[in-house]
Structure 1
Amino acid sequence: MDVNALALGESAQDTWHWTIVARNSNETGEICMLVDKCRGTGRSTIVEICPGAHNLVYRMRWDDGIEDWAIRFPVPGKSQFTDEKVINEVRLLKLLKKHTSIPVPHVYEYDLDESNPTTLGAYIITNWMEGTKLEDVLDAKGLNDRRRMTPHGKAMLKWIYVQVAKLYLDLWALDFDAIGSPRLSQTGEIEVVSRPLTLYMNQLLRFYGINERGLPKQSRTYASSTDFIFKMIELLHLQMIAQRNSIRDAPDGREKFTVRTMMDTIAMSFIRLSGDNYGPFKLFGDDLRPSNILVHPENLTITGVIDWEFTYSAPSSFAGSPPWWLIPYPIEVLEEIGTRRFLTAYVRRANLFIAAVERNERERGTNLEGDRRLSIKMRKSLENMSCWFNFACRMGSKADILYWKLLDPYCWGSFADTHQERMRRFLKVPLRRYMIIEREEFIVRKLDQVHDYNRALRRTTNMRYEIEEPLSDGTTDTNDEDGESTPPIFNTNLWGKIFSSSLAELEMYRETADYSGTFA
């Protein structure tokens, strides 16, 4: 979905004003004084400034040669929930320190008070995590380009996957009784006390101009996967309705309306596949990706994992899906390279990653059975396509392309049907007639909003409401022929071929696997 340029401009303005204050605080030494006060000895110097997607980090150094520290500020405009984000991450880092072996920053101090000497708002002071971003290593060594992949590169990739798989298994070992943001209680027990702060929620405000009133209340937690997933789908509806420029024209509006209607329709079929609606729930990071994983530049050993602010206890199907970042190009390339090529590339990487998970499970002596084993859970999510449903639920801006290119043909068994045929074939007449009327009324209202949006940007447009074209048999959605309210058929013809061929390839990789070594 296109970004709201007006909302993005407001966010950018907030960021710009804050950046001016940050520059002044740097020049006057207020940032150094704040960190020096926390440390208690010596005078620090800022040796590196690291801007990120949501934060600005200063690397601090002292003459005594003891470890460097970092002070990190969530940047207004980029981060929409600065205080909540900081407190959630501090709580989570303490939990991870106690219950996992994941190398995460140690928190020395944090504060939410804007009256601190820098006037920059909330911050966290931690030790500095050494290492190179895994994302940069993958690019520099050609590991994101299959055409450049050498046998040495393949062994390198396997070694990286084995280490990352260990991180995922550490997270998988933790159980939660609710969906939300966890913390350690005063007695040291794990408890879930507030809403899951997702990356999509941040994007809704930053990029699309959605009002925070439409989001879950901060105290809201979820007792079942069903409640949470339908809330995520509700946010897809919210974006379509509330974003001023959510549609480009009437046909595009019908397409997007249909996607959200069909996501509602197929949701329970995918939720049932998970089999653990009421938990245990698992820790999941929306932003756990190579840019937030640090490695030693020579031997590629993981040295740290940073930026945990969008991590929460989630349905096990979220954590039990192979990572979305395994495919080295954006989801939008589905339009360019086609479904088969896209899925083949993803499944090849996913199977390598799952093999790394299996290796770690063997080394740990894991005795879990069935879906309680992470490798089996991930394998099943590939087989039944639930991973793509989960991606669509939580990656709202990608929901439309994921639905039409992957979920729709898998669930309903045809690559040819239009949105009109979908609505007619799978909804009973009374409901269909109601939804078609609602859809067309929505499109008329939305086109007025789009006109106002374009005028605010001083754009000219000749967009107008267009009556939908008839179906291939000459009828329209509003005809009274009764459709079949059919559950998804999960057509596996194409998917089965891709999956089985990739499994055969995986067996070949296993036979020649070399998961250790030092890489220059």
Structure 2
Amino acid sequence: MTITEYDELAEAAADAECRAWIRRLIDSADEVVAFVDARLNGGGTGTYKGFFKGAFNISYHVDFNGRRPSALIRFAMPGETVTPWRDEKVANEARFIEYLRENTTIPLPRIHCWGPASESPRGLGPFIIMDYIEGERLSWFLKRPKEDEYEPMVLNPDLDEATLDTFYEQIAGYMLQLSRLSFPRIGAISRNDPAKPGAWAVTERPLTFNMNILGTTTGYPIDKFPTKPLDSSSEFFEQVAQQHLLHLETQRNLADDEEDVQRRFVARHRFRQLIPRFCTDNEHSAPAQFKIFCDDLQPNNMLFDRETLRITAVLDFEFTNAMPEQFAYDPPWWLVLKQPGLWIEEDGMDDFLARYEPRLEQFLRVMERVEAQQPGLDPPLSARMRESWESKRFWFNYASRRCLDLDAVYWAALHDPSDGDGLALLDAETREKLPALVEKKMEQLRAYKAEHAAQFSKEDE
């Protein structure tokens, strides 16, 4: 079973919007530097030093010739982020970084100011101005050397365990700190607690990575996403299950043939059936407590000093929310760098497990040592991570956050082969919906292929 491909027509429209915006950004470099200089009282000494492009943002490095420390202004890219959500995404991230700087020792950049598109130079978009931090990207140090720059990063098997332990110890400490932070609802935070003015509270909906991927690359109707915070994990997973099912209906090129439709139909309905088994509402606390969770807390978003092997900055807290506590109790998915869904598709589950499980055991040993110095949760976070892995809750959680990987993950990790094609696991009323869906998906695919051929043949002329 393969992971879901993007809707190339939706992706092309998003790319065109993004390219046009990047041209505007390049043409506005002098104005952007002047804007940063004015915001930071640089006295006209600001100079452009370079740019950095990430998955969702472009940043300009502005130096002040010794008058004050260098700064970075980061803009959320349209097309890569659902355009109407850019202000929301930036506001959520800036607030979480501020909250985490107040409540943890994680090395985070200091934010000087941030604002919506309406306050940016030439209306380029919502922005964050923060300290520029020196360092080398940790993933570049950990990855296996590769000849093709587009090949996914994979952990270098020749790294010695002592070096990995040094990094694991630091990251385990960050995860332990995050696991101690709780809110009583699921969603994004602000200082608008109605009961305690100025205190942090969950006041906004959870804007997630999964929602953004659906909204930018699949043709999913964005008006169908949640609009307010949630009060239980079961409610959250039920909404995710509904998103998976609507995604199945709306992405025109999601399935290649009738058999593919059936397998995705089974996987998505089975995900919904598995919610009572894997959802841990109030398992460890009553009333429910929801944990700060950043799905992208991984080496590609960390800087380090090669001489000391100390992490100097943890970056990119976009799509961070107070989320079901079980997410914070998962072992890290990134221990072999390459994403599990992609590894399963390209190399198979057996190969992934052979690479991942030794690193998991190493990480858990390090976590146990960190916990011995910083006791907190009972049962310990390391024990909860082990339970998540052994119970396969890790895979359920991962599938809930990765819409494009869901089907491949279900069939590789959550389906019992003795249940055959899985149709018998669904009730009769659900099974009766399959023939109409198969017909609909095949009609959609024919229309999509015709439109795709027409559009891309024009571009080739």
| Fold equivalence (TM over 0.5) | yes
Please give the per-residue CA displacement for 1:129-161, whole angstroms capped at 9, x wherever unaligned. 221111111026899556434xxx211001110
Pick which of 200-209 and 184-193 moved more: 184-193
Pick which of 337-346 and 271-280 moved more: 271-280
Q: 2:359 aligned with 1:349, yes or no? A: yes
Q: 1:231 is matched with which residue: 236, 239, 243?
A: 239
Letter in 2 for 1:82: R
Q: 2:47 aligned with 1:33, yes or no? A: no
Pick which of 351-360 and 71-80 moved more: 351-360
| C-alpha spacing 1:124/1:338, structure 2 compared with 1 (3 Å) | closer
Equivalent residue for 1:71?
A: 73
Q: 2:385 aligned with 1:378, yes or no? A: yes
SS in 2 for 1:313: strand
Please give the per-residue CA displacement for 1:182-230, whole angstroms capped at 9, x wherever unaligned. 233474423101111111111111111212112111xx11111100111
Distance in 1, matches of 2:219 and 2:158, equals 41
| C-alpha spacing 1:276/1:441, structure 2 compared with 1 (3 Å) | farther
Equivalent residue for 1:127?
A: 131
Q: Which runs of structure 2 are paired with 1:84-99 in the superposition (5 Å)? A: 84-99=88-103
Task: Compute the displacement of 1:115 (Å).
Answer: 5.7
Q: 2:342 is matched with which residue: 329, 332, 337?
A: 332
| C-alpha spacing 1:336/1:77, structure 2 compared with 1 (3 Å) | closer
Q: 2:307 is matched with which residue: 294, 298, 311?
A: 298
Distance in 2, matches of 1:256 and 1:59, equals 45
Letter in 2 for 1:158: D
Distance in 2, matches of 1:112 and 1:205, equals 20
Task: Compute the displacement of 1:356 (Å).
Answer: 1.8
Q: 1:285 is matched with which residue: 290, 294, 299?
A: 294
Task: Compute the displacement of 1:107 (Å).
Answer: 1.5
Equivalent residue for 2:122?
A: 118
Pick which of 83-92 and 135-144 moved more: 135-144
Q: 2:445 aligned with 1:450, yes or no? A: yes
| C-alpha spacing 1:446/1:32, structure 2 compared with 1 (3 Å) | same
Distance in 1, matches of 2:432 and 2:391, equals 34
Please give the per-residue CA displacement for 1:98-120, whole angstroms capped at 9, x wherever unaligned. 11111112121112133643331
Unaligned runs of 5+ in 1: 410-414, 461-520
Task: Compute the displacement of 1:262 (Å).
Answer: 0.9
Distance in 1, matches of 2:145 and 2:15, equals 34
Contact 1:392 1:399 in 2 (8 A): yes
Task: Compute the displacement of 1:65 (Å).
Answer: 4.9
Unaligned runs of 5+ in 2: 147-152, 456-461
Contact 2:191 2:198 in 1 (8 A): yes
How large is the RMSD of aligned CA atoms in angstroms?
2.1
Q: 2:317 aligned with 1:316, yes or no? A: no
Equivalent residue for 1:508?
A: none
Contact 2:144 2:157 in 1 (8 A): no
Q: Which runs of structure 2 are paired with 1:433-444 in the superposition (5 Å)? A: 434-444=429-439
Distance in 1, matches of 2:75 and 2:333, equals 27
Q: Which runs of structure 2 are paired with 1:179-218 in the superposition (5 Å)? A: 179-185=186-192, 187-217=197-227
Q: Rg larger in 1 or in 2?
A: 1
SS in 2 for 1:17: helix
Letter in 2 for 1:349: R
Task: Compute the displacement of 1:257 (Å).
Answer: 0.3
Task: Compute the displacement of 1:392 (Å).
Answer: 0.6
Q: Which runs of structure 2 are paired with 1:90-169 in the superposition (5 Å)? A: 90-114=94-118, 116-139=120-143, 144-145=154-155, 147-149=157-159, 153-169=160-176
Task: Compute the displacement of 1:276 (Å).
Answer: 4.3
Please give the per-residue CA displacement for 1:400-420, whole angstroms capped at 9, x wherever unaligned. 1110011113xxxxx35432x
Q: 2:262 aligned with 1:254, yes or no? A: yes
Equivalent residue for 1:466?
A: none
Contact 1:199 1:287 in 2 (8 A): no
Contact 1:381 1:387 in 2 (8 A): yes
SS in 2 for 1:325: coil
Distance in 1, matches of 2:198 and 2:134, equals 29
Distance in 2, matches of 1:35 and 1:385, equals 48
Letter in 2 for 1:238: L
Please give the per-residue CA displacement for 1:328-363, whole angstroms capped at 9, x wherever unaligned. 334333245433332232222122112222111111
Equivalent residue for 1:503?
A: none
Distance in 1, matches of 2:133 and 2:447, equals 48
TM-score, normalised relative to structure 2: 0.90
SS in 2 for 1:333: helix
Please give the per-residue CA displacement for 1:35-90, whole angstroms capped at 9, x wherever unaligned. 01111132211112001100000111012253110100001011112100111011
Letter in 2 for 1:453: Y
Equivalent residue for 2:7?
A: 4
Distance in 2, matches of 1:447 and 1:140, equals 41
Letter in 1 for 2:99: L
| C-alpha spacing 1:173/1:388, structure 2 compared with 1 (3 Å) | same
Equivalent residue for 1:423?
A: 423
| C-alpha spacing 1:49/1:147, structure 2 compared with 1 (3 Å) | closer
Equivalent residue for 1:514?
A: none
| C-alpha spacing 1:451/1:140, structure 2 compared with 1 (3 Å) | closer
| C-alpha spacing 1:276/1:257, structure 2 compared with 1 (3 Å) | farther
Q: Which runs of structure 2 are paired with 1:25-64 in the superposition (5 Å)? A: 25-26=28-29, 29-42=30-43, 43-64=45-66
